[in-house]
Amino acid sequence: MTSDQPEDRPRAERADLVRGTTALALPFGVVAGLGLLTVLLPPYERPWWVAGLAALCLAASAAVFVASRRRGGTTWLAPLAAYLLFPYAGLINDAAGAARGGSSSGMTVLLLLPVLWLALTGTPRQLWVASGLSVVTLALPVVVVGPPDYVVGDWRRTVMWAAVAAIVAPVLQRIVLDLARQTRRARTATARVERLFEDAPHGVALLDSTGTVVRVNISMAVIVGLDPPDMVGHHLGAFETPGEDRIADHLGRVAQVARGESMETECRLRDSGGNDVHVALSSTVVPDPELGRMTMVNVVDISDRRRYLDRLAHLADHDVLTGLANRRRFESELERHLERCQRLGESGALLLLDLDNFKQVNDTLGHNAGDQLLITIAGLLRRSIRSTDVVARLGGDEFAVLLPDADQDGARRVAELVVERIAGHAATLDGVARRVTASVGAVTFRAASEHASDVLALADMTMYDAKEAGRNQVTVLSEGDLRGPRAAARLHWQSRIEEALEHDRFELHLQPIMDIATGRISSAEVLLRLREDDELVPPSRFVYIAERAGLMPQVDAWVVDHSLELLARLRRDHDPDFRLEVNLSGHSIGKPEIERAIIDALARHEVDPAALILEITETAAVADVALARDFAARMTSLGCAFALDDFGAGFGSFYYLKHLFFDYVKIDGEFVAHVHESSVDRTIMRSIVGIARDLGKRTVAEFVSDPAILRVCEEEGVDLAQGYLVGRPAAYDAFVAEFLAPSAPASSRAV
């Protein structure tokens, strides 16, 4: 009979019970032994050989059972051990009945032993055989011996035992079979889950409700370079790159989602070798009846993908040959700086550089030699500027340098240094390469503003002036003579700023910021003005001079003190939850006097630090990220909030958002002013809002000047709006009357 036949399939499903384990046989043997011992006790009427024969049957049954266990598998020996118990039960029943003086014996119950054994371990056919043997065991003495020891009434007992063996035992067998099948399926399912968990190609971690690792698979341990037991008992965030808390934020959001939903994020883990591993997390809440609310986290190593994406982003903005910024990146940086000049005043300079006689190198020595020379000159340019400056290859042998904070003299010095270094390097070369020099045109953004012309075009024309003047020279477009010498103008403005600080000639105006969800004016940005007779001078005309003269920390300290005075009045008289945004110059970041001014003013005016929002532009942050981070950390611990201005103007924005403490993200006006008309701007706004929301930060849209723009901001989930549609900057009294007074029109208070 093969294993595919019906009789063997149930037997296979019963696994170890089919053969009958020693643990299962032991209670049957104990009961059988007690039966034999009972009949040996006096009085004993039958000959000794009856008990001896019963003992021999019992011994034979035990021997057959042991033999079947040793042979393994299911053979004819397995049911034979049970069949031998029938003559044993018949002999014991006869001996016990004779001792009591009749055929009725309590030992008849021993017939249950083989029937139950085969119900648990046998096949249906074997159970039917057992039913027949039980009938034979009871009927044979009646037929052979007869009255008076066995009367006809014993047939009733025979019929009932036959019914038990034929009807009840198969039912019991089916129950045992179902239990065995369910146990087997449960074990198989458990084993399958274990294999899926352990053999998963990606990392899997099981966390308790606190985020502590309960179990991890091998792939997860490999990612962090540890053995699985070394990770158990630690919070998953302990394996994150120091200084980041994305895992804690992720687990907090996972705890809030509905059962069965998953939450995804990306973060970096620090492996045992000190290397950062970029991973993608996908987490799901898994209820457990014993351990409670568990979280299963799937961890995928995406380091290669991140490197690939970073490489693509780098190639999109950088020249393949030299590694410098390309024209696309340079034009983007130039546009950002022009927008900054519009807000804060013109500063910085642009250098345009073209190599003289470079074509002869390509024609004579070949393009490989020309490429190598370009790579070398790119290195010279990098070493000639600061890390905050931007150098780019615009194409061919033309380069551009953006000096965001340089004045005219500074631009001249940098240009002359570049010309000198290129000429010095060429002097070490042979042949026509010795003739390579550089012609540089330099234009300050102030000069470009005076000429009302494109700064790049002016730099290009100035560069050609240098070439026409004999090459290997620097030509600087002078700023207008109508304003007199630059040094005299700077000294004049410096004295005016110092006088304004001394005599309180600065004024603060407030521009409203509206909570889009409620339509309320819940905060405002403080804007600085300089009072000159009847004229209010905007900061674009004096801030850059204050920065260069080292006066900006004093100006910012004045602004902070007077802003908190206004804030105290606003919260006391009009709105106890009102907040003010105060801009800080990059020259004030990290200055001890600014920190003291903020702390003293908060205490003096008794203002809740949470009502003060310190706003820093990207230009201020990029000057020294570490310094800005430390300053933000100290002010945050004090209770102040921070806003990052001009967000989205470049890839650097995401770097600052990651490494600095910010509560508000002010979307750059470039992406807001035309968001109702441009699908690209709307997509960028949606992305910025999504990133900010995931990081737990609020967003502010600047340059909201049209109802259509406001509608788009509301649809895309922007939190706050600022611009001429919401309200123009106004002095304190006018601001309160228009936006906070109870009598203010509804249209003014909720646009």
For 157-216, the pLDDT digits (tens) are 666 666 776 676 677 777 777 777 777 777 777 667 667 677 677 888 888 888 888 888
To 10 degrees, the CA torsion angle through 680, 685, 690, 692? 140
Task: Report the SS3 class of residue 323.
Answer: coil
Q: Please give the average per-residue pLDDT across 664-679, as a whole number.
A: 88
CB-based contacts of 142: which residues, under 8 Å, 6+ apart?
Answer: 150, 151, 152, 154, 155, 158
* pLDDT for res 524: 96
pTM score, two decimals? 0.41
Task: Report the SS3 class of residue 134.
Answer: helix
* pLDDT for res 596: 92
- Band of pLDDT at residue 403, cut at 50, 70 and 90: very high
State the Cα–Cα distance between residues 371 and 322, nearest whole angstrom.
Answer: 9
Question: Is 60's pLDDT higher than 80?
Answer: yes
Q: Please give the average per-residue pLDDT across 424-452, as a whole number.
A: 85
Question: Is 576's pLDDT higher than 70?
Answer: yes
Q: Please give the average per-residue pLDDT across 339-359, as a whole number.
A: 89
* pLDDT for res 27: 81
State the Cα–Cα distance between residues 588 and 552, nearest whole angstrom.
Answer: 7
Q: For helices 679-694 and 707-715, what crossing angle results, to 10°?
A: 40
Reading the block at residue 397, the tokens are 């042998």
Question: Is 235's pLDDT higher than 60?
Answer: yes
Q: Please give the average per-residue pLDDT across 511-528, as a whole number.
A: 94
Q: Any idea which of 1-15, 407-421, 651-665 has the lowest mean pLDDT?
A: 1-15
State the Cα–Cα distance between residues 658 and 665, nearest whole angstrom.
Answer: 12
Q: pLDDT for 240-263, tens place per residue? A: 888 888 888 888 888 887 666 788
Question: Is 111's pLDDT higher than 90?
Answer: no
DSSP label at residue 167: I
Reading the block at residue 423, the tokens are 């000429």
- Band of pLDDT at residue 528, cut at 50, 70 and 90: very high
Mean residue pLDDT of the chain comes to 80
- Band of pLDDT at residue 152, cut at 50, 70 and 90: low
Question: Is 73's pLDDT higher than 80?
Answer: no
- Band of pLDDT at residue 4, cut at 50, 70 and 90: very low
Beta strands in 478-561, from DSSP E residues, in sequence order: 506-515, 521-532, 535-537
Of these ranges, 123-132, 366-375, 437-446, the one predicted with the greatest mean pLDDT is 437-446
Question: Is 219's pLDDT higher than 90?
Answer: no
Q: Please give the average per-residue pLDDT across 566-588, as a whole number.
A: 91
* pLDDT for res 81: 81
Angle at 222 between CA 221 and CA 224, to 5 degrees: 70
The gap from C-alpha 651 to its chain's centroid, in whole angstroms, comes to 19
CB 113 within 8 A of CB 28: yes
Angle at 69 between CA 31 and CA 13, to 5 degrees: 90
Cα(first)–Cα(last) distance of the chain, in Å?
89
Whose tokens are 């927008």? That residue is: 339
* pLDDT for res 400: 93
Task: Report the SS3 class of residue 206.
Answer: strand
Diameter of the chain by CA atoms? 148
